[in-house]
Amino acid sequence: MVSGALKPPEEATSSSLIPESPTLDNIVTVFTRIPFARYLANSLGVSVAVTVLLVGFGAMAGYALARLRFRGREAIFAMFFSTLLVALPVILVPLFYVVSRMGLTDTYAGLILPVAFTAFPVFLMRQFYLSFPRELEEAADLDGAGYLRRFTRVVLPLSKPMLASLGVITFLATWNSFLWPLTVARDRDLWVVQVGIATFQSQYGGEWNLIMAASLLAAIPTLLVFLFLQRQIIESIKASGLKG
């Protein structure tokens, strides 16, 4: 991909991995032919918002289902878990109908909210908290801490490795999402980078150097986020002292 992105047009069909005359003109051309910077900004904003909501609410719901005792807890978790068996294409039409009736089509809320509350983070965090040492929470109980204070002061700081891992998974999945953004957003100003690349490919499919340049630009942010959070995961494991 990097090789193709750096090849000039006359070398676009060459099988050589090393460009004879590497150039950055392809990257400049991508930004001038389509509003690619806007697509990148949309993807970044949507991915960060979905990640924050999913990780935050997933941690709270997972902790409640793992530690709080209330009637119907197992039934609620079973309902959450059952939604993992339903793929997005199955509910795409009714989901779009609901979003349309709420007036959220062609809005950032329509891009974010329907995918910001899913069962996987709840399931993952619940399983993590079931194995969380109760002794640490009991020590907080002796200091008179309630569930909220115990969760924010003791549990969350020691959950950083799992939260970081969940954040990486959620960000990458949202950044690479294509079907729902294509369905809910017809306004070009709301297109995310994957929809922009698909449209760009249909218009300039014969210019593989430009397609590779656009793909490279879309891949760089995900690599940076992954590398940054990977370091955070390692540091959090060292700091927490928890072993899997």
Number of structural domains found in the chain:
1
* CATH (domain of 91): 1.10.3720.10
- pLDDT tens digit string along 95-151? 999 999 999 999 999 999 999 888 899 998 998 888 888 887 777 777 667 778 888
Cβ distance 64 to 129 under 8 Å? no
Statement: residue 54 has pLDDT above 90: yes
- pLDDT of 243 reads 44
CA atoms of 129 and 123, how far apart (whole Å): 10
Domain housing 210: 2-240
pTM of the model: 0.85
pLDDT band at 81 (very low <50, low <70, confident <90, very high): confident
Phi-psi region of 63 (alpha: psi -120 to 50; beta: other; left: phi over 0): alpha
pLDDT band at 224 (very low <50, low <70, confident <90, very high): confident
- pLDDT of 22 reads 81
- pLDDT of 147 reads 76
